[in-house]
Each structure stands twice: as C-alpha cells, then as structure tokens.
Structure 1
Amino acid sequence: MIGKPRKIGNTINEIEEGQSLSVTESIEDSQLLLYLGLTNDANPLYIQHDYAKTTAYEKPIVPSAMLMGIVTSAVSKHLPGPGSHVVNFSINFIEPVYHYETLTFDFEVIKVDKMKEVVTISVEAVNEKENRVLDAVVIVQPPAKNSEEVE
C-alpha cells in the first residue's frame, strides 16, 4: 500500500460555499477505551461511574478530544476528503456528551478562500434529543491534485 497512488478529496477549485455533510456517530465503550489507552488519559470523569456521580455531570462524559477527533475524521474522509489538512480549529462544547449517546454532526462550507487555499467549515452537533452539544469552525487546506492520483 505504501507508495501506491490514492484517490484524494476535493481540491480548492472543486469546493463551493454551501456544500454540506451530515455524519452520525454513536459513542461506544470500545471507542472510549481506545482513546483512554492511546492518550494515557486517566481522568476519572471519563470512565469512573462512582467518581462521576459526585460531580455536576452525575455520570461519565465523553472526552472533548474524542469529539474533536470525530470532526477532523469527517474532514479527512469526506469534506474536503483525503489529503486535507486542518490548519485551525475553534470549538465550543455547549453540553456534555455522555457514553452511548448518538450524535449528528452537520458540516457546511461557509467560505472558500482560493487566495489562501483554505476553506472554512462550520460544524454543529446535536444529540438524539436534538440538543446542541457543540459548535465548531474548522479551517482546512484541501488537497492539491497531483499527476499520480488514481480516479
């Protein structure tokens, strides 16, 4: 696989303001445990039910970095797609996200800056109760086409 040409995402010239994407993700124990293992994050608020009961959250919450990862993953996979690079990320966590919740992330291209070769994407995520849990603005450098790309 290394060195083999791959299909890349949309270039700056292929992206238009108003383009959108919706992604639904369920937060499962396996994902939480992988995150905690990979990051060595031992925050009891993320996994210990006894501790979380003593907090305002009352039960374990999903780490903020995991939610950011879902956003950047959608950028890398879909909009603009493979070959993209996030150059700026601003996010507001409005409500906590709990284990086993299903979230819907709505992405929209709000600006295409061909001079700087970046696109600005707004993101809003809601839980199954339609409560907004996060808002974000992501500035992304889309991939550049090259002669080795496979269509």
Structure 2
Amino acid sequence: MDDFYIGQEVSVEKTFGKDEVLAFSELTGDCNPLHIDDGFAKNSRFGATIVHGMFVAGLISKVIGMQLPGEGSIYLEQNMRFLKPVYVGDCVTAKVKIKDIMQEKKIFTLETNVYGNDGTCFVSGTAKVLYEGEL
C-alpha cells in the first residue's frame, strides 16, 4: 500500500445528458417525472429536469472502483448528503480523497464529494472501502 497516502485525491468529470438520464430511469425503474418529464419538472421547485441523485453518486463509485483505490475495491459503507440538485446538462466533478488507511486490514476511509464547475458542492459524504487489489 506504499502507493497510497493520506490526502491523495482523484477526480472524474462528467456532463449528464438527457439520453443518459432516460437510460438510468429505464435501468433502475425510477421514472420519477422530476427526472424525465420537462413539463412536470418545469412546474416543480427545481424548474427543470434533475439528474437522479444515485446517478450522480455513481461517479463516486467509478472513482473508487477504477482509480482510488481502484480495481479490487469493495464498498463497505457509504454515507452521503444530497445538498443541491444536478440539472440535466450540468457538468460536475466527483472527488475522492483518502482520509485514513488501516494498513493491516486494507480498509480506506475516503472523503467523497461531487462539485459543480463553480465550486458548488452537490453531494458530500464519506466511504469505507476494503481494498483487495495487488499491493
């Protein structure tokens, strides 16, 4: 685990398109009109269609599973707060940062956040991950 250190951070950027949001709705069965019906969403408190919170949070999973710690990572726990909506067409950045490493058990405590280009925090949380990748 010499390649990992406290404070190490990795990020990934994504713009959420309408077609992707529709596909996520179909895959999960979450067809809430706030996500897929422009007319309904326009008359809501949000004023436009919003991306599913769990779709946004999926970017965190992408970073954990593919980059930090990476392949062989197993989610043990994820806590998150959805602070602001992400709108269809928004570009966001998911950031994962190492807060602690339990060397003997190969368990990472991670800070997990999703930000907008202006620094707005949309999702804030922490995760615990068991790392079973090559050392």
TM-score of the pair, normalised by structure 2: 0.91
In the alignment, what sits opposite 2:6?
A: 17
**RCO higher in structure (CA 8 A, sep ≥6):** 1
After TM superposition, the structure 1 = structure 2 runs for residues 1-151 of structure 1, keeping only pairs within 5 Å, are 12=1, 14-145=3-134
> Displacement of 1:144 after TM fit?
4.0
> Displacement of 1:30 after TM fit?
2.7
Matched length:
135
Q: Which runs of 5+ in 1 are unaligned?
A: 1-11, 147-151
When Rg is computed on C-alpha atoms for both structures, the one with the higher figure is 1
Q: 2-side partners of 1:116 and 1:81: how far apart?
A: 16
> Which secondary structure state, in structure 2, belongs to the residue aligned with residue 65 of structure 1?
helix
Amino acid at match of 1:125: V
Amino acid at match of 2:29: N
Structure 1 window deviating more from structure 2 (31-40 vs 90-99): it is: 31-40
Amino acid at match of 2:15: S
Residues 38-79 of structure 1 show CA distances to partners (whole Å, capped at 9, x for unaligned) of 111110011111111221111111101101211111111100
Residues 65-123 of structure 1 show CA distances to partners (whole Å, capped at 9, x for unaligned) of 10121111111110011111111000011111000100012221000012442101102
Q: Indicate the structure with greater strand content.
A: 2
Q: 2-side partners of 1:142 and 1:34: how far apart?
A: 30
Q: 1-side partners of 2:104 and 2:86: how far apart?
A: 37
Q: 1-side partners of 2:32 and 2:133: how far apart?
A: 40
Structure 1 window deviating more from structure 2 (50-59 vs 122-131): it is: 122-131
Amino acid at match of 1:42: C
> Displacement of 1:13 after TM fit?
5.1
Q: 2-side partners of 1:128 and 1:36: how far apart?
A: 25
